[in-house]
Amino acid sequence: MPNPSRLRAAALTATALALSVLLAGCGGGSQEDDEDLTGQKLDWKDCPAPSEAEGGGAAPSPLPDGDAWQCATMRAPLDWDDPEGDTIGLALIRAEASGAADRRIGSLVFNFGGPGGSGVTTLPAFGQDYAKLRTRYDLVSFDPRGVGRSDPVECLDDEQLDTYFQQDATPDDRAERTELVDNTEKFNAACAKNSKQILPHVRTTDAARDMDLMRQVLGDDELHYFGISYGTELGGVYAHLFPKHVGRAVFDAVVDPTQTAEQSSLGQAKGFQLALDNFAEDCVSKTEDCPVGDTAEDVKTRIARLLKDLDRKPIPGVFPRELTETAATGGIAQALYSKDFWEYLTEGLEQAYDGDGRVLMVLSDALNGRNEDGEYSNITAANVAINCADDKPRYDPAYVEGKLPAFRDASPLFGDYLAWSMLSCTDWPVAGAADHPDVSAPGAPPILVIGNTGDPATPYEGAGRMVDALGKGVGVELTYKGQGHGAYDSKNRCVQDAVHGYLLDGRVPAAGTVCS
């Protein structure tokens, strides 16, 4: 069962690769610890294949111009309150700037979200999308602490995770509720047993301090930054802690920094319902018949009926597993992250109505970080660990039950799923830091904040609230009237021109700019 914030970052690359297979038939070393970690020299080498915790697969292919991706490990304090104590290794990846040396601005650091996503695997997967930015920047990303190769949080093993994700995450009676609570306690206890040392040190404030160390080790006076989804929260926390070190920064698919975990979950229920509404309208507006319903309401009614049927009797999924109600709900949510995946959702629903759950299960697997070999990345473990270390509120079953009407009103389809996911931190062994992050950044330079009106995972309203929270003269809002999670990767020319103009040439777009 995903934590509510788990739905902030879709494993879109994994989804595309897994579906292509189905439908068709960083390592490097570092020098020994320096007394002053800011003076360490990174030992950049060709990147190895991703670890299982990073999602597995092959080493990144060369860039279009033939250059190789390079990986290294940076040492950072395990505990930033004891900077001269034990250290951990943070995995980094880079593609050196492709343009003339005298035009190079510095490094552009990416965080693609999650929390819990591996930047070391995600950046090369989308590297060609940032080719223009590479003309003046080294493109750099990393596995944040607790993620991938960076001292990963470990909880359940692969076999146990298969069972965990097959559970009923929307209990209908006391027995199902008890089972859900018991499984959550077992998951959290496994995290505490297997990752005791790192769990207290994976807060977003820790990752932000890591990024400032990274800035110095990379040789930059300022941190130039591109944050997506949870990466906007991380960027906002960095700006709060180090406003004078902020360079040119873009926040895309913006997390609302003013919300508690409950408010975020409720906002996501509304956001995913909006995306489902838009999918249904789009399907029936095609010139050909929509294969999953005659009207938009019919599409949603049939989906609700499918989920109800699956709650009673799952259907075959990816052998030997079955497609349960929970897996189908996760698969539908995953497909709503990008309009490019709506065709997969249509196909998955059409097949599920005929008793074949494979496509929806592949989508669900991508959400949960499972590859076709049955191996899980540590995205779920890291996601829960980071969110629970950040978020102070703890919710019990009685509280969730009292909130179900509001969640169901926000989304008949996703309401129960997101309400019950609030139990993820109930018995977590580390106390949460705050109700919500502090991103106030007086004195920071302009930060471009991009909101997408059709974003399911980080609803549009969060962009305006991020601008307000950053403070006067810092946040500059741009609106994209589109679908899916985020704006830049939609390939919208207006959005990309604004981002390129700021990051490459320092031109800040007018506040309130609208792209459609």
Q: Using CA atoms, how far apart are residues 284 and 279, in angstroms rounded to an integer? A: 9
| 325-335 helix and 342-353 helix, angle to the nearest 10 degrees | 150
Rounded distance, CA 219 to CA 4, Å? 37
Out of 201, 224, 436, 485, the active site residue is 485
Place of tokens 């593609």: 95
Largest CA distance in the chain: 68
245 catalytic per annotation: no
- Do 42 and 89 form a contact (C-beta atoms < 8 A)? no
| Cis omega (within 30 of 0) for bond into 62 | no
Are the C-beta atoms of 363 and 323 separated by less than 8 Å? no
H helical segments located in 169-295: 174-194, 204-217, 230-241, 261-285
Residue with tokens 């189905």: 22
The answer to whether the CB of 323 falls within 8 A of the CB of 317 is yes
* Element spanning 463, H or E: helix 461-470
Amino acid (1-letter code) at residue 207 = A
Instruction: Confirm if 256 and 465 have CB atoms less than 8 A apart.
Output: yes
Q: How far apart are the C-alpha atoms of 450 and 476, rounded to whole Å?
A: 8
Q: How far is CA 126 from CA 4, 60, 240, 338, 416, in A?
A: 25, 11, 28, 15, 33
Q: Is 373 a catalytic residue?
A: no
Long-range contacts of the stretch 76-80 (C-beta < 8 A, 24+): 76/37, 76/145, 76/209, 76/210, 76/213, 77/37, 78/197, 78/198, 78/201, 79/200, 79/201, 80/201, 80/205, 80/206, 80/209
5 is catalytic: no
Residue 27: DSSP 8-state:
-
- Of 168, 365, 455, 489, which one is the catalytic site residue? 455
Choosing from 51, 98, 141, 229, which is the catalytic residue? 229
So which residues are the catalytic ones?
229, 455, 485
